């Protein structure tokens, strides 16, 4: 894989969220279980693994390892558009209004239910399993994707909560890595997105559109990159038009990857100005304050409506990135700020747990699988 960035690599479960899966090509059980594995794609210090989902009649968490990052590049000065709150000390406001949805089916919930007497269970249940996390749709199963998406959005709507959905089936999604998942081509992907959109419903929904698809596009030829970006732009339009309260966010990598101006240029080509904003730090460890500053600079460089905002994956960034650049289940990390739609930070729409804490990158357990020892370390650090 290119020395570029995060990659979705293998075959199995997806870490950090719930994955809704069915059998390849459809016709399988309408369930979603995390089964995605990723290998690494190193740029200079970090790498990302891939998620592939195994079918199961439930939504489960999906796994992905940290995006690989390039050596720090000079950051261009932002083009200020309006004053913003300082990112130095992120705070979370008391919940008011809509709250995020916690899907009941995930690897961590499975483990907690099956191991009530384990001395680690109480901490893992309280600090991880009881928190809302994203639901990943990482397989290409056109025949069942609508019903699987609808099962999540309808359950969330019934509770008056906001689900976070991750469509993850773009062709070449790991940009040359080991994963064989995703749609066979962009035409098939466009059809899959159409079917995905039909399950959104009328409730408020957050869509994290294709992690790695923009930040890691450098391994594609110019023609293939342009075709991907056209398909992503189309996907954003389809998703927005299908659900009147659907919010769509595009891939901004993270603060240790592409410089803000470069990332903004890519996002512009991918149609991000017509969405609701950008997301960053998926499966990574970058500090929230660093991501706030980076995302604001990307948004300034991107231009577009002043309403564009950013969401940040805070699932494992409580201690920031390891000094040695380790990316695979590095020691000394801990869970970050709890998922919330009320950050108290200008232009930062939400802190989300997109990768579920405790799903391994492949070192403390099989890639994409829930590893209780790792979860306990993250939750008790």
Active-site residue list: 174, 212, 361
| 3-state class (DSSP) for residue 190 | helix
Residue 323 burial class via C-beta count within 10 angstroms: exposed 0-12, middle 13-18, buried 19 and up: exposed
- Tell me the chain's radius of gyration from C-alpha atoms: 18
Residue 131 neighbours by CB under 8 Å, 6+ apart:
102, 338, 339, 353
- Cα 338 to Cα 257: distance, rounded to the nearest angstrom: 24
- Cα 316 to Cα 352: distance, rounded to the nearest angstrom: 11
Which CA distances in Å does 138 have to 71, 186, 252? 29, 15, 19
H-helix or E-strand containing 367? none
* Rounded (5°) CA angle 60-64-65: 150
Tokens representing 325 are: 């650049």
Residue 348 burial class via C-beta count within 10 angstroms: exposed 0-12, middle 13-18, buried 19 and up: buried
Residue 162, Cα to own-chain centre: how many angstroms?
A: 15
Tokens representing 350 are: 């939400």
């Amino acid at each position: 894989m290119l020395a570029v960035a995060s990659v979705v690599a293998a075959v199995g479960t997806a870490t950090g969220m719930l994955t809704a899966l069915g059998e390849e090509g459809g016709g399988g059980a309408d369930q979603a279980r995390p089964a995605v594995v990723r290998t690494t794609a190193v740029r200079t210090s970090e790498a990302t693994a891939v998620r592939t989902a195994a079918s199961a009649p439930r939504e489960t968490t999906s796994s992905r390892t940290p995006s690989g990052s390039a050596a720090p590049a000079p950051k261009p000065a932002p083009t200020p558009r309006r004053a913003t709150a300082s990112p130095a000390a992120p705070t979370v406001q008391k919940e008011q209004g809509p709250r995020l949805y916690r899907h009941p089916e995930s690897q961590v919930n499975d483990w907690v239910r099956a191991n009530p007497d384990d001395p680690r269970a109480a901490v893992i249940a309280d600090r991880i399993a009881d928190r809302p996390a994203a639901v990943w749709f990482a397989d290409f199963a056109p025949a069942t994707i609508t019903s699987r998406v609808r099962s999540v959005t309808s359950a969330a709507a019934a509770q008056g909560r906001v689900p976070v959905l991750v469509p993850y089936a773009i062709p070449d999604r790991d940009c040359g890595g080991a994963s064989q998942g995703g749609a066979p081509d962009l035409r098939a992907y466009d059809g899959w997105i159409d079917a995905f959109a039909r399950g959104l419903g009328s409730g408020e929904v957050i869509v994290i559109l294709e992690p790695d698809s923009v930040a890691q596009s450098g391994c594609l030829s110019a023609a293939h990159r342009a075709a991907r970006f056209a398909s992503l732009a189309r996907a954003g339009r389809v998703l927005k038009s299908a659900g009147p309260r659907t919010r769509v966010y595009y891939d901004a990598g993270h603060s240790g990857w592409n410089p803000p101006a470069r990332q903004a240029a890519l996002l512009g080509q991918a149609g991000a100005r017509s969405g609701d904003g950008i997301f960053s730090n998926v499966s990574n460890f970058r500090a929230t304050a660093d991501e706030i500053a980076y995302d604001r600079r990307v948004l300034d460089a991107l231009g577009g409506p002043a309403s564009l905002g950013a969401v940040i994956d805070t699932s494992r960034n409580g201690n920031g990135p390891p000094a040695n650049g380790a990316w695979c289940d590095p020691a000394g990390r801990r869970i970050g700020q709890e998922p919330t739609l009320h950050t108290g930070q200008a232009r930062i729409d939400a802190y989300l747990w997109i990768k579920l804490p405790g799903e391994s990158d492949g070192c403390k357990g099989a890639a994409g699988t829930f590893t209780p020892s790792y979860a306990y370390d993250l939750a008790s650090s």
